[in-house]
Structure 1
Amino acid sequence: MRISMVVAVAENGIIGADNGLPWRLKGDMKHFRATTMGKPIIAGRTTFNSFGKPLPGRTNIVLSRSEAPVPDGVVLVHSLEDALAAAAGEGAEEACIVGGAQVYAQAMAYAHILHFTRVHMDADGDTAFPDFDEDAWTQVSAERHEAGEGDNCAYTILRLDRKGPPPKSI
């Protein structure tokens, strides 16, 4: 099973503010939906709660240290390894890591693909994407979008593939 990470990152590394996104990018939300549809998604509890409800068309796997209840149909796990095993148990060819920062940091060593949206602004926020070795990745595609209706800035959707196998495997 391939592991993808799907993230939007401001020029200054910010990915979140007050448990939400510090920008509005309608086109990137469409990209997120298309990229993750039909695949298991793995999110930390705070990120999952920011969705407001389970995302339809995807197995929602929530990584949490607590036993707090989750909605029916959501899979609650307590380690990244358990989350990856749950995704593999779905028979999927690809699972998508969708945040937050701690989950991205843990999952980086397993990731094959980064669906990386570069948000062309410096954002105010309280959550940053973890540092990673950009030399370990090859840019496969880049698609720049100017700010359109429903967007408050320009952005570029990148696909980065890891050079060689990830350091860890499931």
Structure 2
Amino acid sequence: MISLIVAHTRNRVIGRDGVMPWHLPNDLKHVKAITTGQTIVMGRKTFASIGKPLPNRRNVVLTRSTDFSAEGVEVVHSKEDVLALGDVIIFGGAELYRQFLDAVDRMYITEIDMETKGDTFFPEWDQKAFNLVWRREGIVDERNPIPHTFSLYERKRN
């Protein structure tokens, strides 16, 4: 199964200057709960923005660069290599989301209720091709001041 996990604003921003332009500990906890024990696949730029492999996960970096290596990560070079891994969660960034959107069975989306400037965006997707499985509002408090919603979508099967 190919899953995807993303947080984006109303205008689909996922990043600006290599970082997320918000800080929501609730979302970080949500991501950890979904991805711990799983295989996550990210692009080289996303890995560089995190700076290290995420613990308790199989970290895979998809890159065209044959020179790239990093301790604690596996490196693959094609979409086919990723698909051969079996169950994975596409972890970003924008290029990987675009590349795998047609293959995704499940999408975990955190919608951040704000608009902001950005240079990296989540691609448009066909909501009619997916069923909303569940949606829940994130708790807004002093540490999580921006309203946000967690959703799970699954691709419709014919």
Are 2:135 and 1:136 equivalent residues in the alignment?
no
Are 2:91 and 1:98 equivalent residues in the alignment?
yes
TM-superposed CA distance for 1:136, in Å, is 0.4
- Find the aligned partners of 1:125 and 1:164 in 2 and give their Cα distance: 34
2:118 to 125, 129, 134: 125
Are 2:3 and 1:10 equivalent residues in the alignment?
no
Q: Which runs of 4+ in 1 moved over 3 A?
A: none
- Find the aligned partners of 1:43 and 1:22 in 2 and give their Cα distance: 19
Match of 1:110 in 2: 103
TM-superposed CA distance for 1:62, in Å, is 0.4
Match of 2:52 in 1: 53
Aligned residues: 158
TM-score by length of 2: 0.95
Contact 2:26/2:139, CA 8 A, preserved across alignment: no
TM-score by length of 1: 0.88
Contact 2:3/2:106, CA 8 A, preserved across alignment: yes
TM-superposed CA distance for 1:151, in Å, is 1.9
Aligned-pair RMSD on alpha carbons? Answer: 1.3
Are 2:157 and 1:164 equivalent residues in the alignment?
yes
- Give identity over the alignment, percent: 40
- Find the aligned partners of 2:122 and 2:109 in 1 and give their Cα distance: 11
TM-superposed CA distance for 1:52, in Å, is 1.2
Q: How does 1:27-106 map to 2 (within 5 A)?
A: 27-85=26-84, 87-88=85-86, 94-106=87-99
Which segments of 5 or more consecutive residues in structure 1 lack a partner in the other structure? 89-93, 166-170
Q: Is the partner of 1:98 in helix, strand or coil?
A: strand
Match of 2:148 in 1: 155
Contact 1:62/1:74, CA 8 A, preserved across alignment: yes
